[in-house]
């Protein structure tokens, strides 16, 4: 049975949230450099996963900040980075002028877990149908082959393990009692933190999430 969280309102609120989501996104400006070469590349991300959240606090804060804190764990068993076939201009520090190179299509599969997410649900009224939220966290990404850039040419080997610090903004839309449609925008950084010989990283990815969750 739910436990009452005592804030300024004496209202019982479910403690646990269980959800599923599908996510797609891209890096707005993905630049690779190393070995005296520099070029941009198109890359797309797709993933599907599960999340479990638990309310941590009673209602706190004033005005627009009035709301509840929530701890969230996200597990992504399906993660895909897709690089379509493309032509790119490659620039060299030798000042020989850009050259055109063609890259074939490639996919990198992986799994990810984000065990540290803190979410603040902005709840000015307990009965509101729309609950915006913001969250911060960091996770781990394991890929079947080194990512990004495989062997990392021209700079050396990258890593199969990367870290994923992120900041997310979303909104839960109540569809029926204790059920939500969830919309979110995620800004995720992907980096091996030097675990490989070469760490090109993906500085900023913008990802869009559509999900559904149940409160218990």
**Structural domain boundaries, residue 92:** 15-215
- In this predicted model, what pLDDT tens digit does every residue of 118-154 receive, in sequence order? 999 998 765 578 999 999 999 999 999 888 876 655 5
In a domain? residue 7: no
In a domain? residue 8: no
pLDDT of residue 127: 59
**What token pair was written down for 129?**
């149908």
Q: Specify the 3-state DSSP secondary structure of 153.
A: coil
pLDDT over 70 (residue 155): no
Where do we find the tokens 């638990």? 54
In a domain? residue 76: yes
Could you tell me the pTM of the whole model? Answer: 0.86
What is the dihedral sign for C-alpha 146, 149, 154, 155? negative
pLDDT of residue 70: 97
pLDDT of residue 101: 79
How much of the chain exceeds pLDDT 90, in percent? 56
pLDDT of residue 5: 40
Q: Please tell me the total count of domains within the chain.
A: 1
pLDDT over 70 (residue 208): yes
Q: How far apart are CA 112 and CA 208, in angstroms?
A: 17
Q: How far apart are CA 64 and CA 133, in angstroms?
A: 11
Q: Which of 144, 210, 138 is nearest to 173 (CA)?
A: 210
User: What average pLDDT is seen over the chain?
Assistant: 87
- CATH number of the domain that residue 185 is part of: 2.40.160.20
């Amino acid at each position: 049975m739910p436990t009452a969280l005592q804030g300024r309102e004496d209202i019982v609120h479910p403690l646990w949230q269980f959800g599923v989501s599908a996510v797609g996104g891209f890096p707005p400006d993905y630049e690779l450099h190393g070995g005296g070469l520099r070029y941009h590349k198109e890359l797309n991300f797709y993933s599907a996963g599960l999340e479990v959240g638990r309310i941590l606090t009673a209602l706190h804060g004033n005005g627009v900040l009035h709301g509840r804190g929530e701890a969230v764990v996200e597990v992504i068993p399906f993660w895909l980075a897709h690089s379509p076939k493309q032509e790119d201009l490659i620039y060299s520090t030798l000042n020989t002028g850009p050259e055109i190179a063609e890259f074939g299509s490639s996919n990198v599969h992986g799994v990810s877990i984000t065990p540290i997410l803190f979410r603040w649900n902005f709840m000015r009224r307990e009965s509101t149908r729309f609950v915006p939220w913001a969250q911060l966290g960091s996770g781990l990404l394991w890929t079947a082959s080194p990512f990004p850039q495989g062997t990392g040419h021209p700079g050396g080997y990258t890593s199969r393990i990367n870290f994923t610090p992120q900041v997310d903004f979303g909104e839960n839309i109540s569809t029926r009692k204790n059920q939500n449609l969830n919309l979110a925008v995620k800004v995720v950084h992907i980096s091996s933190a030097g675990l490989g010989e070469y760490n090109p990283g993906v500085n900023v990815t913008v990802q869009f999430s559509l999900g559904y969750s149940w409160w218990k």
